[in-house]
Chains A and B, each alone.
Chain A
Amino acid sequence: MSTTTTLHFPQPQAGERGAAGRRSLWVVAATRAVLNETQKSLWLLWGHRTIVLLEILTFVAFYPFLQFVIGNGTIQRALVPPTLLAFLALPLLYLAILKLVGDLLEEVNSGTFEQMHLSPFSPASLLVGRLLAFVLEGVLIAVVVGVLMTWWLGVGIPLRPAGLLPAALTVIDIIGFALLIGGLALALPQIGAIAHLFSGLILILNGMLIPLEWYPAWVQTLARFLPTTLGVEAMRKVVLQGQSLGAVWADGTLPWLLIHAAGLAALGWLVFLFNDRRAMRHGTLR
C-alpha cells in the first residue's frame, strides 16, 4: 500500500486528562458504538425496504381483520380505542423479538457476530443499539397503523403527554424481553419456536383482541406477567380514561410496570451476558 494512515483514538485535552476525562471519552466512544449499531440496522432495514413495506401493510390489514373476526362480522367501535392501543405494541414486540432472534442466528452463522465481539464495548450494549433500530421501525409501523385505523374507523385516541411515561416503560419492557430471548438464542438455536409461543400468548392476553377485564381473574394475573400488558393497562388509564400519572401510581399499575420493566431489562441483560460468555467458553460464537 502506498499510503499509510496512522489512527489514534482521541486523546484527552489538557483540561480533561485524568480519570474523569478518560471516562467521558469512553462514554462518547461507547455511545457512538451503540448508535453505530442502530445505524447499521437501519441500513440493513433500508436494504430490505420491500419487506418492511409488506410488514406495514400486513399490520395495517391485521388489526381490522382481528376485530372483524371477534366482532362476529362487524367492527365494534367501542372496542377500537382500548384494543387498538394494545395492538400498537405488537409491531414493536414482533420486530424486537423475532427480528432480533433471526438477526442473531444469521450473524452467528455468518461470523459477523464474532466480529462484533472484537469491539471494546460490551456486546449486550451493542445489541441495545440494534434493538433501538427495531423499536424505530416498530414505532413507524405503530404510527401508520394508528393514524390509518383512527381515520378509517372514525375513532380517536387522545394524545396526552402523560402517556409518554408508560409508553417509554413499555418499550423498555419489550427491549428487556427481547434481550432475554436473544440471550437464550445463543444457547438454544431452536428458540424461534419459544419466541413464537410467547408472541402468541402476548397477542392473546395483552388486550389487543379484547380488553383485559373480560378475561377471568386468574388469566388477568397471568397476563400481567407478560411484557406489554401492564404498559398497555397504564396507557389506557392515562390516555383513554384521562387519569393522572399520580392516580395510576397510587393504584399500583405504574409501580408494577416500573418493576416489571426494570426487572425484565436486568434479567434480559444478565441472561444475554451469561449466555454470551458461555458461548465464548464453548467456542460457539459461531
Chain B
Amino acid sequence: MFQTTRGAGLDAARPLDHESAAGPLAFELTRLSKVYHRGKGTEVRAVDDLSLSVPVGQVVGLLGPNGAGKTTTIKMMCGLVTPTGGRVHLNGYDIARERPMAVRQVGAVLEGARNVYWSLSAWQNLLYFGRLKGLSRKLIVPRAESLLRSLDLWERRHQAVGGFSRGMQQKVAIAAALITDPPILLLDEPTIGLDVQTARTVKDWIARLAHEEGKTIVLTTHQLALAQELGDRIAIIHQGHLLTDLPVRELLARFRQDTYEIRLGGSLTPSAASWLDGFSITSQDGESSIRGPISDQEKLYDLLTQVHAQHLPLIAVEPVEPNLEEVFVQVLKEG
C-alpha cells in the first residue's frame, strides 16, 4: 500500500490501464490546461490543452522560451498548481484524486528555489524530507548515506547547507528529492547558476540516475546542449501549447535532410563561385568544405558533377546534423 517505487511488492505502479506500446507509462498528462486570473478580468493561459505521455525510464527535455508554461506544467505534474482542466497521472495515480499516492511517485527540484532548509545540515535535511513522505529513520539512513557519499557531501553532512557553495546546495536539493527513491524526478533548471564543473557533475549524476537507476526524468532547461545530451526525447512548448514531442534522433532527423556538407581535398578555384551561390565555402589545411541547402537528390548529383569538373579529390558527402538549438529555433518559428 505504501510503496513508492516500481518494486515488485504490492501496489507498486498501477500499470495495466496506463501502458503504451513502449511499455508502462511513468506519467501521462491529458489535455492539461491552466488559466491564471490576474485581476480586472485579465486571464493568462499558461498551459493550453497539453497532452504528453512518457514511458518508464525515459529522460524528457521539456523546452520552451521564457513564459512558455514549462514551470507551470512541472508544478501541475507534482500537484503544486491545480490545473484548470485536464488530468495528471503519475505511475497510474491521478494527482487530483489519489494525491497521497501520486506525490510519492515524484521528487522535484524546482527552479529558483532553495528547495531545502539552509539553516539545517545536509543530514538533517535528508532525514526531514524522508520522514515528510512517511518513511521511517531506519529506511532513510542507508539511503541518505549512499546519496551523500556519492555526491561527495558525506564529510560535510553535519554542516549547515547555507554555508555550502551554490553547487553543493543544488546537490543537497537533488539528494533530498531522491531520498525516497521516487521513480519520477522533475528537474526544473537544475544547472542554472552553477559553474561549469559543478554543472558537469550534476549532469553526470542525472545521466546516471536515468541510465543506471532507470528513473523517469523531466528536465527543463535553457541549456539545449544539456537537453540534447541527456534527453531520450524532447518536448517543446510555446505559449502553453505543445509544439512537438519526439525522440531526440527523430526530431533532429526531421530537420536534417535539407543541409549537406561536401568535403574536397584541395582549394576551389574562384570560378566555382558562380555555381555555388547560396553555399558557404570554407578552406583550411588544403581542404575545402561546401555547405548548404540541397533540397533533392537531383540537385546533389548536379553539384557533384560540377565538383568533379574541378578535378579535386572527393573526401566526403554528408548530411549535416542540426543541433538542438537550430531545431528549437526552427520549431518555434514554424509553431
Contacts and interface: CB of A to CB of B under 8 A. Distances in A.
A11 B124 CA distance: 26
Contact of B4 (A9, A112, A119, A282): A9
B81 interface: yes
Interface stretch (B21-29, B130-138, B270-278, B294-302): B130-138
Interface in A107-137: 110-112, 114-121, 126
Contact of A119 (B112, B119, B133): B133
Contacts of A26: 2
Contact of B113 (A282, A283, A286): A286
Contact of B135 (A4, A9, A11, A43): A9
A3 B212 CA distance: 10
A10 interface: yes
Given A3-B150, A33-B134, A118-B133, A43 B80 contact: no
A4 B132 CA distance: 21
Nearest to B142: A5
B2 A29 contact: yes
Interface string B106-143: 11101011111111100010011101111110010011
A40 B126 CA distance: 11
Among B80, B134, B146, B147, the one with the most A-chain Cβ atoms within 10 Å of its Cβ is B134
A53 interface: no
B134 A111 contact: no
A263 to B, nearest CB: 28
Interface in A272-286: 277, 280-283, 285-286
Given A7-B143, A9-B1, A280-B82, A119 B132 contact: yes
B16 interface: no
B129 to A, nearest CB: 7
A99 interface: no
Contact of B79 (A33, A110, A117, A286): A117
Contacts of A120: 99-101, 103-104, 133-134
A4 B212 contact: yes
Among A2, A37, A111, A286, the one with the most B-chain Cβ atoms within 10 Å of its Cβ is A111
Interface in A10-39: 10-12, 22, 25-26, 29-30, 32-33, 36-37, 39
19 contacts: A6-B7, A6-B181, A7-B4, A7-B5, A7-B180, A8-B139, A11-B2, A11-B9, A11-B10, A30-B134, A39-B128, A40-B128, A43-B119, A44-B119, A47-B120, A112-B113, A112-B117, A118-B80, A286-B110
